[in-house]
Amino acid sequence: MKELKELRTLNAKIFDTSDEPGEGNRRLVARHLNPMHYDNDGVLEDIDMTVENGGVHKCGYDVDLYPDKIGYHGTAPDGKAIELELLENYVEPTIDGNKVTYPNVSQNVDLQIIFLPTMIRVNRILKAQGAKKRAQFRVKREEGIKGKLLNLGADSEGKKTELQNVEHETGNPHEKLITQTWSGKVAVMNKDTRKKEWSAKPEDIKYPVTIDPTSTFSIAANADDGGAEISKFTFTSVTSLRAAYSVASVILQNSSPPSTFVGKGGWVRFTGITIPQSATINSAILNFYGGVSSGSATFNAKVDSRQSPGNPTSAWGVINPANVVSGSVVKTVTNTTTFAGANHALIDLNVTSLVQALVNSYEYTNGEMVFYANKSVVESNIIYLYMRDRGTSKDAELVINFTAAGPSTPTDKTTFHHG
């Protein structure tokens, strides 16, 4: 199998899988959000997040570590300036691949920077009780930059931290100081009221506690994936459409009480696909992450049939999409030890029949594929679907093996991008 490098795009690779010249057998591997390549003066090269020569330069953004301060500076994928500095005395970091660790920047606290394709994750790791709970960062994000700065926190069991973030202008353009303070409390479930409340009890807090001022570089709202919900009670109806963010988002689950009708679902888009119309689809697998709380549950998957399907504008457009090719794929998800803890793992969904029906349709003119997953039946458990693996940069992936009529031509050129 040989990659056709001249057909590379930011989010995809195309391989020639033919045994003999002229057979036209191809494999397309496309990612939903995370790029596979970066533009190196007009040549698409493989992304490499390894820290070399004091920085990361083989991806969409270009940044260097400060030589005498804790943090980084450089440019985001759109060329806009970005900086982040922890205002503590400098300590020499250790570097392991794409991970930079500044040990003991303050009492019982390490600072860790992890370079990922669509974000620079910054983790302030509070290692034990008595760790310093307050930190101050100098942050610069030039106006108009895509994505946002996240300020989130959780203990080692995933319980959210109660944070206070206070911002101050510095007088320099696009720059501010952020004082980030953890109250020492985490969110726990009250067994009597079944509601979350803040607790500072030592037994409720599991160290290390991680608090991050992470910079993301993708559009956060309604960006080619998301979730939807419709709940109908005896006298009320609640409808909502929500976007998926740069971290994992639950997009499908059932409802309680059982008397409630509920419809939930999600969508994911792959853009720029140029598989020729009426090509033979030998296989098509959609990979994403998910799980089920207990037992097993099923959901339906469909593919949009329109030439240029836009993002859904209503929840009902996800739960019951009107413009789809005939048929659907039924998937059963079973709770196993694989899903223990985080309740999710990699799910591979065979969408060969859907993709074949799409490329055979009159409406298909190449460009986009939008997949829907939906459910309108109440079950006794909960299904979780994610567009990417929680806490990592792995996202949804589409792998299609197809045979075109005759050898490849320049029209095979594919542009995969997010947004």
Q: E-assigned strands of 190-236?
A: 196-199, 209-216, 225-232
pLDDT at 357 over 80: yes
pLDDT at 235 over 50: no
Which pLDDT belongs to residue 372? Answer: 84
Domain locations in the chain?
Answer: 2-33+220-412, 46-216
Token pair recorded at residue 398: 């589409």
For residue range 309-355, list pLDDT tens digits in order: 877 777 778 778 888 998 888 887 776 544 444 556 778 889 999 99
Which pLDDT belongs to residue 392? Answer: 54
Residue 277: which pLDDT band, with cuts at 50, 70 and 90? confident
Mean pLDDT along residues 214-235: 60
Among 24-38, 170-184, 275-289, 404-418, name the one with the lowest average pLDDT. Answer: 404-418
Q: Is the dihedral of CA 322, 326, 332, 333 positive or negative?
A: negative
Is beta strand 109-116 parallel, antiparallel or unpaired with respect to 119-126?
antiparallel
Cross-strand partners of 374: 265, 300
Asked if 49 and 97 count as a contact pair (C-beta separation under 8 A), the reply is yes
pTM for this prediction: 0.69
Which pLDDT belongs to residue 415? Answer: 35
